[in-house]
Chains A and B, each alone.
Chain A
Amino acid sequence: MSAVAEAAKTARRPISRSRVLRRSPVGRFLIKLPFWLLIAAIFVYALFPFYWAIRSAFTPDSEQFSTPIKYWPAHPTWANFREVLSTSTFQHALINSTIVAGSVTLFSLLIGSLAAYALGRFRFHGRSAVLYLMLSMTIFPQIAILGALYTMINNFHLYDKLGALIFSYLIFTLPFTVWVLTSFMRGLPGDLEEAAYVDGATPLQVFYKVLLPLIAPGLVTTGLLAFIAAWNEYLYALSFIQSPDKYTVPLAITTFVGKSGSTFQVPWGQIMAATVIVTLPLIAAVLVLQRRILAGLTAGAVKG
C-alpha cells in the first residue's frame, strides 16, 4: 500500500536527473566519482615526490641517466644505498645529527618540563608574562640573531663544533617545548597532587613522581617534534660548521659529491638513497605517533 503511494508521489513530481542517478548503484558510483578522483589526486600529489626518491634510489646509474626515463626500475639495485652508507661524510653526518638532535631534545625536555611545571601548576605574579615571552620566542626568526650568535660562538670557542649547534638550536626547541608541555600540565586534575602534598611530598617529588609520568605522552610528542626540528635545521649548521666530518645530515645531503668523486654528473641515485635513509625513520615515527602529533601541532591553534 505504502509502496504504491510512494510510487505515485514520485511519479507526480518531475524526476530530477540526480535522483535517478542516486537510485542505481552505478549512478551512486558516478556521483561519488569526482570526489574519489579528488582524493586520488591528493594522494598522488602528496606521495609522488617521495615515491620518485625511492624509485631513483633503487635505479642503477646506467638507467638513471638514460632517456626515455623509466617510472619503475627495470633492474632494481641496492648499490646506491651501499655506496652512500660507505661514504665517511654520510656516516659522520648520521652520527652527528643523532648527537645534536638527541642532546637538544634531552635538554629541551629537561629544562622545558621544569618550566612547564612552574607555569602549569603554580600561581604567581609574572606567570603570564613568561608564557607570552615563550610564545613570542616560538615565532622568533632565527636569522635575526645570526650576527651576534656567530661572534658569540666564536668567543666561546664553539665554532666548527657540534656544541655550537646544540647551544643555538635551543632557541627554537625550548620555547615550543615549554609552551606545549604547559598545556599538558594544565590538563591534569589537581587531586593527585593534593594527595601527594598531604602525604608530605616536596614539590620536586610531586613533579617527578606524580606529574611527569602523567604527561609522558606529551613528553614523547614534544620530544619527537623537537628532534625533527633539530634534525632538519640548515641555516645555523651551514653557518657554524665547516669541516665535513662535523656535517649534519642536511649539510651532507646538499654537498654530496659521491664516492667516485665525478664532478660531471651529480650522483642523484646516491643522493636519493641518502634522502630515503634519513627520512624513513622520521616518517615511521610520525605515522606511529600520528594522533598525538596532530594534537601537539594544533595545540593552542584552534581554540579562539
Chain B
Amino acid sequence: MSTVATPAAPPRRRRRGSKLQRRQTRIGWVLLIPALAVVALVAIYPLGKTIYYSFTNQEFLQGIEPTKWVGLENYRTLWHDTIFRTAVWETVKFTLITVSFEFVLGMIIALVVNSSFKGRGAMRAVMLVPWAIPTVVAAQMWKWMYDDVYGVINDAGVRLHIFSHSHAWISEPSTALGSVCAVDIWKTTPFVALLLLAGLQVIPQDLYEAANVDGASKIQQFWRITLPLLRPAILVALIFRTLDALRVFDVFYVFFGNRPDTQTMAIYAQSTIVGDGHVGYGSAVSVAIFLIIGLFVAIYVTVMRVSGGDD
C-alpha cells in the first residue's frame, strides 16, 4: 500500500534526553490501548478464529456431532464445489466489468469537471448524490426502475426505440449481471471521478502551458502529462474499487436473494454460515475470499512496482 500516503512525520518537539522519550512512549501506548483493544477484539481475534474454524466441522447449533478438527477437508470440498466456483466467476466478472466502466467514465467526468466552467461547484455537489445514497436503497430504486411492466427503463427504451419490447431485466439470465453492474457503476463512478479529480488538481498548470508553447496537442498532453502524473491517484482508485467489488454483497442480495446462479462469493459465505449454520465450511469459504482478495492486491502491487517503481 505504498501509494497511500503516510501522513508526514509529526512536528515533534526536540528530543530532550531519553527520559522524555520514555515518557512519550508510555503515554503514546496508553492512549492507544482502547483502539488496539477494539481492533483486537473485533478484527484480529475473529480473523484467527475464522481461520481455526475453517479446519473444523463447527456448526452454529451444537447438535449431535461434537466439533472436531477435520484438517484440510473443508478446503478439499471447496475445491470441487461448483456453486462456489460459479460464485467466484460471477464476482470476478462483476469486478472486471464495473471497475473498467467506472474507471473510464470516472476519468471522463473528472476531466470535464476539472476544466473551468460556470457551475463547476454544483457539478461536484451533484456527483456526491449517488455516493451518499445507501447501496441497499440505490438497489431498490433501480429494481423499481427495472420493473418489467411499470419500470421507467422499459418505458423509455421502448418509446425511444432502443429496444422493441419490455424485458424482465433482473430475472432474464442474459441481462441479470449487466443490470446489477449498472447499479454499481451508477453509484460509484462519481466516487472514482472525485478521487481522480483530486489527483488532477495537484498537477502543476505550468506543465500544460509549457506543452502548449511547444505545440503539443491536447491529446498528446493527456497521454504524456496527465496520465503519467495521475498514476498514483489511478492506482489508489483501482485498488479501492477492486477490493470493494470483490466483496460485493448488497446489490446482488437485494436483486436476487441467494439465487444460486447469481451468487457472489460473499453471498455464498453468508448463506452458508448464517442460513445453513455451517460455520466451519462457511469459514473456509471466507478464508478463500480473503486469499482471493489478497491475490488481487499482490497483482496490483507487483504491476505497480514493475511499471516504474514506487513513488
Contact = CB atoms under 8 A, between A and B. Distances in A.
Interface of A: 35, 38-39, 42-43, 45-47, 49-50, 52-53, 56, 64-69, 71, 110-112, 114-115, 117-128, 130-137, 139-152, 154, 167-168, 170-171, 174-175, 178, 182-183, 185-186, 188-190, 194, 203, 228, 231-232, 234-235, 238-239, 249-250, 253-254, 268, 271-272, 275, 278-279, 282-283, 286-287, 290, 293-294, 297-298, 300-304
Contacts of B13: 190, 194
Interface stretch (B40-48, B171-179, B204-212): B40-48
B223 interface: no
Contacts of A174: 35, 38-39, 42
A71 to B, nearest CB: 8
Contacts of A253: 136-137, 140
Contacts of A275: 133, 137, 140-141
A49 B132 CA distance: 13
A232 B248 CA distance: 14
Given A125-B25, A148-B50, A120 B7 contact: yes
- Specify the main secondary structure of chain B where it touches its partner: helix
A286 B58 CA distance: 44
Given A42-B109, A146-B269, A118 B126 contact: no
A47 B250 contact: no
Contacts, number: 318
Given A114-B35, A145-B286, A231-B134, A294 B270 contact: no
A298 B290 contact: no
Given A39-B112, A137-B39, A301 B270 contact: no
B45 A148 contact: yes
Interface in B4-44: 4-13, 21, 24-25, 27-32, 34-36, 38-39, 42-43
Interface of B: 1, 3-13, 21, 24-25, 27-32, 34-36, 38-39, 42-43, 45-50, 53-54, 58, 60, 108-109, 112, 115, 117, 119, 123-138, 140-142, 144-145, 147, 149-150, 152, 155, 186, 190-191, 194-195, 198-199, 202, 231-233, 236-237, 240, 243, 246-247, 249-250, 253-254, 265-266, 269-270, 273-274, 279-280, 282-283, 286-287, 289-290, 293, 311
B259 to A, nearest CB: 15
A223 B2 CA distance: 26
Given A145-B47, A168-B42, A174-B38, A286 B132 contact: yes
Nearest to A295: B198
A221 B78 CA distance: 43
17 contacts: A42-B112, A49-B130, A49-B145, A65-B149, A114-B34, A118-B29, A123-B10, A134-B35, A145-B50, A147-B54, A147-B58, A148-B45, A174-B35, A250-B136, A298-B195, A301-B195, A302-B202
